Amino acid sequence: MPPGATFTDGYGNTWTAPGGSANGAPFSSYFFPLPYTVAPPPMLDGWGGTYGLYLGQPGWIITFYCA
């Protein structure tokens, strides 16, 4: 998911995907087109995610922070 892309979460809120850097550490968001009942592998490893719509398709949006 490129920086600046927008998505709508399950509550109807519209968000702009983060991307770039924070405190010198890069971060970016990725979209996983999966049902709500299926957690993508990064969430199984402990990363947080938000379920919503990206370009009209439901799935998980996960933001990765790289130190």
Return the closest-CA partner of residue 4 out of 13, 57, 15. 15
First to last CA, the chain: 20
Whole-model pTM: value is: 0.64
Round to whole Å and give the CA distance between 32 and 35.
9
For the chain, give every domain's residue range.
Answer: 6-65
Distances (CA, A) of 6 to 10, 41, 46: 14, 22, 24
Q: Report pLDDT digits (tens) over 2-49.
A: 667 777 777 776 666 666 666 666 777 788 999 999 999 888 888 888
